[in-house]
Amino acid sequence: MRRRGVGILAAFAAAVAAQGCGQEPEAVIQAPPVVVTPVVERELVDRIEATGELMARSEAVVAAEVSGRVSEIRIHEGEAAG
pLDDT in tens, 27-36: 888 889 999 9
pTM strictly above 0.85: no
Over the stretch 4-53, which tens digit does the pLDDT of each residue have?
666 777 777 776 666 666 666 678 888 899 999 999 999 988 888 989 99
- DSSP assigned state of 66: S
Backbone phi, psi, residue 52, to 5°: 175, -160
Backbone phi, psi, residue 46, to 5°: -85, 85
C-alpha dihedral (49, 53, 56, 57), degrees to nearest 10: -80
Q: Which residues does 21 contact at the CB level (< 8 Å), separation at least 6?
A: none
